[in-house]
Amino acid sequence: MSRRLFFLLLSGWIMLLLSGCSDHAEATNLPVVPDYSQTEYWFEGGDTDEMAYDVFYIVPTCVFDWQDAEGNICHWMDPDNPSHRASVDGPIRLARGIFADEANFYAPYYRQITIESWTESEQEIDSRFETAYSDIASAFHYYLLHFNEGRPFILAGHSQGGKAVIELLCREMDDETYNRMIAAYPLGYPVRDEKHSPYLIPAAKADDTGVFITFSSVSSPDKLTPLLSGSRAAINPLNWRTDSEPGTKEQHLGAVFTAATGDIVSEEAHMISASLDDATKALVLSGIDPQAYYEPALADLFPPGNYHVVELNLFYRNLQQNVKERAAAFFAAHADQ
């Protein structure tokens, strides 16, 4: 019943955003470039430094194409738009509960590309994404210079945020910064063969550090859409193995669904088993009904049986524990430094 309520709320949010879309000319002007020296471009001001390590989080796609004051359609979030901020704040709070239960948390508002953008050609997606990435890279460097103060950190993101994490590892990382990186979680986005970086190392177990962790959740391998296919690596968040050995329901620590406030609406453990498909690297789930997690408004991207929209929810507690485990391993390995 609680999961049904979650999807009713999700559907209402989607319809609200869609109501602002119409067929007008393409926008020629981008939203204003965020100034990350200003606190309003950080979730809750970005002012937190009491914990021993940080999380730099990049929120997934939450905004649809929208109409500007001149009646043009824009394909990027406007970080100055209160309704756009409201649409990303709920997912940011969900992620904070997972990744920053024991960490400082920094999440920039950025000109993410819209949901419709992901139905375009790969070339067009990458072209539009460069605007989003320019914001993320700027925010990351500002974070390192002004917020981080030399602490170890985790990079994390889901979907578009996962793509951004991969790009940060490939384009912005250096040895000094990497040596402080506990792990990177580019969840829900493939790390393909063409992505090369000495800092792009796949996780092999539950507590290795300096590695990336990714998976994409489906009911069967054929539900892995082209957008999310082709990853060279993945890991099972139930048993933290990279082979096809199944993770059992007993290893499932809990699916968590939250309200936009971040408050927990429902929680259930031991509901999912999962195994990695050797050929596609898809994480194949059993124990849940695909129709229960299907959103018709997103059917072009995520058909029934593709759990992309809710995979952070489904593995909430396993991810939360894993972040702490990798952080503990990092600090143990650097105890004498």
- For 63-110, the pLDDT digits (tens) are 999 998 888 999 999 999 999 999 999 999 999 999 999 999 999 999
Q: Are 167 and 212 in contact (CB under 8 A)?
A: no
Give residue limits of the domains in the chain.
2-333
Residue with tokens 């031991």: 270
- For 173-191, the pLDDT digits (tens) are 999 999 999 999 999 999 9
pLDDT at 4: 41
Q: Return the higher-pLDDT residue of 136 and 30.
A: 136
Backbone angles phi, psi at 271, to 5 degrees: -110, -15
The total number of residues shown for the chain amounts to: 337
Q: If you ran DSSP here, which 8-state letter would residue 295 be given?
A: -
- For 130-167, the pLDDT digits (tens) are 999 999 999 999 999 999 999 999 999 999 999 999 99
Amino acid occupying residue 211: V
Sign of the torsion angle spanned by Cα atoms 89, 95, 98, 102 = negative
Q: Are 239 and 272 in contact (CB under 8 A)?
A: no
Name the percent of the chain lying above pLDDT 70: 91
The tokens for 23 are: 């067929």
Q: How far apart are CA 60 and CA 111, in angstroms?
A: 11
Neighbours of 335 (CB within 10 A): 7
Q: How far apart are CA 332 and CA 175, in angstroms?
A: 20
Least confident of 39-48, 217-226, 251-260: 39-48
**DSSP letter for each residue of 203-238:** --SSS--SEE----EESSGGGS-GGG---S----TT
